[in-house]
Amino acid sequence: MRWKADSPTVFDSNCVTYLLDALVHASRPGAVDKLATQKLALVRVLFYGPHLLAYTDTVRAEVASISDTLRRDRHLNALDVHFRELSILDPSRAESERSRLTGAGINSKDARWMGEALAHDAPLIVTWDRGLLGQARRAGESRVQSPATAYATLGIGVDSPLRTRPVAANPLSGQSWWRL
Protein backbone atom coordinates (compact mmCIF):
# COMPACT_ATOMS: atom_id res chain seq x y z
CA MET A 1 0.00 0.00 0.00
CA ARG A 2 1.33 3.46 -0.89
CA TRP A 3 0.59 6.44 1.32
CA LYS A 4 0.33 10.05 0.31
CA ALA A 5 3.07 12.18 1.84
CA ASP A 6 0.54 13.99 4.01
CA SER A 7 -1.26 10.84 5.22
CA PRO A 8 -0.67 10.77 8.97
CA THR A 9 0.56 7.66 10.73
CA VAL A 10 -0.48 8.41 14.30
CA PHE A 11 1.53 7.06 17.26
CA ASP A 12 0.21 6.68 20.79
CA SER A 13 2.34 7.89 23.71
CA ASN A 14 3.66 4.39 24.48
CA CYS A 15 5.01 4.00 20.95
CA VAL A 16 6.79 7.33 21.31
CA THR A 17 8.42 5.92 24.47
CA TYR A 18 9.42 2.66 22.74
CA LEU A 19 10.85 4.56 19.78
CA LEU A 20 12.91 6.80 22.05
CA ASP A 21 14.13 3.81 24.02
CA ALA A 22 15.40 2.20 20.83
CA LEU A 23 17.01 5.44 19.62
CA VAL A 24 18.66 6.33 22.92
CA HIS A 25 20.21 2.93 23.54
CA ALA A 26 21.65 2.92 20.01
CA SER A 27 22.10 -0.83 19.91
CA ARG A 28 19.83 -3.53 18.54
CA PRO A 29 17.07 -4.21 21.04
CA GLY A 30 18.16 -7.46 22.71
CA ALA A 31 16.64 -10.91 22.53
CA VAL A 32 15.57 -10.56 26.17
CA ASP A 33 13.65 -7.41 25.23
CA LYS A 34 10.17 -8.69 24.47
CA LEU A 35 9.50 -5.47 22.54
CA ALA A 36 12.58 -5.80 20.29
CA THR A 37 10.59 -6.51 17.12
CA GLN A 38 8.21 -3.63 17.83
CA LYS A 39 11.04 -1.18 18.60
CA LEU A 40 12.92 -2.12 15.44
CA ALA A 41 9.73 -1.57 13.42
CA LEU A 42 9.25 1.88 14.99
CA VAL A 43 12.83 2.93 14.19
CA ARG A 44 12.47 1.77 10.61
CA VAL A 45 9.14 3.58 10.23
CA LEU A 46 10.86 6.74 11.50
CA PHE A 47 13.85 6.50 9.18
CA TYR A 48 12.26 5.00 6.07
CA GLY A 49 8.56 5.74 6.20
CA PRO A 50 7.22 7.66 3.20
CA HIS A 51 4.60 9.40 5.26
CA LEU A 52 3.89 11.91 7.98
CA LEU A 53 4.41 10.73 11.56
CA ALA A 54 1.88 12.38 13.83
CA TYR A 55 0.31 12.56 17.26
CA THR A 56 -2.92 14.03 18.55
CA ASP A 57 -3.65 16.71 21.15
CA THR A 58 -4.47 14.01 23.68
CA VAL A 59 -1.18 12.17 23.09
CA ARG A 60 0.74 15.42 23.63
CA ALA A 61 -1.18 16.02 26.86
CA GLU A 62 -0.28 12.50 28.04
CA VAL A 63 3.38 13.14 27.29
CA ALA A 64 3.26 16.57 28.96
CA SER A 65 1.95 14.91 32.13
CA ILE A 66 5.04 12.67 32.55
CA SER A 67 6.28 13.48 36.06
CA ASP A 68 10.00 12.89 35.44
CA THR A 69 11.26 16.19 34.00
CA LEU A 70 14.12 14.75 31.92
CA ARG A 71 11.96 11.98 30.49
CA ARG A 72 9.11 14.41 29.72
CA ASP A 73 11.47 16.89 28.02
CA ARG A 74 13.05 14.12 25.93
CA HIS A 75 9.59 12.98 24.80
CA LEU A 76 8.39 16.50 24.01
CA ASN A 77 11.58 17.21 22.06
CA ALA A 78 11.09 14.03 20.01
CA LEU A 79 7.49 15.00 19.28
CA ASP A 80 8.59 18.46 18.16
CA VAL A 81 11.40 17.15 15.94
CA HIS A 82 10.05 13.95 14.40
CA PHE A 83 6.27 14.29 14.47
CA ARG A 84 3.52 16.69 13.50
CA GLU A 85 0.73 17.52 15.92
CA LEU A 86 -2.73 16.94 14.51
CA SER A 87 -4.83 19.68 16.06
CA ILE A 88 -8.53 18.94 16.18
CA LEU A 89 -10.00 20.31 12.97
CA ASP A 90 -13.51 18.99 13.49
CA PRO A 91 -14.28 18.58 17.22
CA SER A 92 -17.76 17.16 16.56
CA ARG A 93 -16.33 14.42 14.32
CA ALA A 94 -13.63 13.60 16.88
CA GLU A 95 -16.33 13.39 19.57
CA SER A 96 -18.51 11.23 17.33
CA GLU A 97 -15.60 8.83 16.72
CA ARG A 98 -14.81 8.78 20.46
CA SER A 99 -18.42 7.93 21.27
CA ARG A 100 -18.47 5.16 18.66
CA LEU A 101 -15.25 3.69 20.05
CA THR A 102 -16.37 3.83 23.69
CA GLY A 103 -19.65 2.21 22.61
CA ALA A 104 -17.54 -0.59 21.13
CA GLY A 105 -15.83 -1.15 24.50
CA ILE A 106 -12.69 0.97 24.18
CA ASN A 107 -11.88 2.95 27.32
CA SER A 108 -12.53 6.69 27.13
CA LYS A 109 -8.83 7.68 27.38
CA ASP A 110 -7.84 5.58 24.37
CA ALA A 111 -11.05 6.40 22.51
CA ARG A 112 -10.25 10.10 22.80
CA TRP A 113 -6.83 10.05 21.08
CA MET A 114 -8.02 7.45 18.56
CA GLY A 115 -11.13 9.54 17.80
CA GLU A 116 -8.88 12.53 17.12
CA ALA A 117 -6.76 10.42 14.75
CA LEU A 118 -9.82 9.07 12.97
CA ALA A 119 -11.22 12.59 12.60
CA HIS A 120 -8.06 13.31 10.55
CA ASP A 121 -8.70 10.23 8.40
CA ALA A 122 -5.43 8.72 9.60
CA PRO A 123 -4.93 5.57 7.52
CA LEU A 124 -2.72 4.04 10.23
CA ILE A 125 -2.89 4.30 14.03
CA VAL A 126 -0.03 2.65 15.92
CA THR A 127 -0.12 1.25 19.45
CA TRP A 128 1.47 -1.64 21.31
CA ASP A 129 -1.30 -1.79 23.88
CA ARG A 130 -2.33 -5.39 23.21
CA GLY A 131 -5.66 -4.96 24.96
CA LEU A 132 -6.44 -1.93 22.82
CA LEU A 133 -5.38 -3.79 19.67
CA GLY A 134 -7.88 -6.55 20.48
CA GLN A 135 -10.65 -4.07 21.30
CA ALA A 136 -10.00 -2.13 18.08
CA ARG A 137 -10.10 -5.35 16.07
CA ARG A 138 -13.46 -6.29 17.66
CA ALA A 139 -14.72 -2.76 16.89
CA GLY A 140 -13.78 -3.26 13.21
CA GLU A 141 -10.94 -0.71 13.28
CA SER A 142 -8.30 -2.31 11.05
CA ARG A 143 -6.33 0.96 10.97
CA VAL A 144 -5.21 0.38 14.58
CA GLN A 145 -2.09 -1.78 14.35
CA SER A 146 0.98 -2.85 16.29
CA PRO A 147 4.29 -1.29 15.23
CA ALA A 148 5.43 -4.46 13.44
CA THR A 149 2.12 -4.85 11.61
CA ALA A 150 2.11 -1.14 10.70
CA TYR A 151 5.64 -1.48 9.31
CA ALA A 152 4.53 -4.42 7.17
CA THR A 153 1.40 -2.52 6.07
CA LEU A 154 3.49 0.44 4.93
CA GLY A 155 5.35 -1.84 2.54
CA ILE A 156 8.74 -0.26 3.08
CA GLY A 157 10.99 -2.21 0.71
CA VAL A 158 14.68 -2.97 1.05
CA ASP A 159 15.38 -0.45 -1.71
CA SER A 160 13.62 2.39 0.12
CA PRO A 161 15.70 5.51 0.59
CA LEU A 162 16.20 6.99 4.03
CA ARG A 163 13.62 9.69 4.70
CA THR A 164 15.76 11.04 7.51
CA ARG A 165 19.09 9.93 8.93
CA PRO A 166 20.96 10.34 12.19
CA VAL A 167 23.71 12.96 12.17
CA ALA A 168 27.30 11.69 12.22
CA ALA A 169 27.66 12.45 15.95
CA ASN A 170 24.63 10.30 16.79
CA PRO A 171 25.63 6.80 17.97
CA LEU A 172 23.01 5.32 15.63
CA SER A 173 24.96 6.54 12.60
CA GLY A 174 27.60 3.88 13.30
CA GLN A 175 25.06 1.09 13.83
CA SER A 176 23.55 -1.09 11.15
CA TRP A 177 20.82 -2.97 13.07
CA TRP A 178 18.10 -0.52 11.99
CA ARG A 179 19.09 -0.39 8.32
CA LEU A 180 17.09 -2.23 5.67
Domains of the chain, by residue range, sit at: 8-174
pLDDT tens figures, 74-131:
999 999 988 998 887 789 999 999 999 999 999 999 999 999 999 988 999 999 999 9
pLDDT of residue 35 exceeding 90: no
Cβ proximity of 37 and 151 under 8 Å? no
pTM over cut 0.85? yes
Count Cα atoms within 13 angstroms, Cβ side, for 10.
26
Domain 8-174: which CATH class? Answer: alpha beta
Looking at residue 149, its pLDDT comes to 95
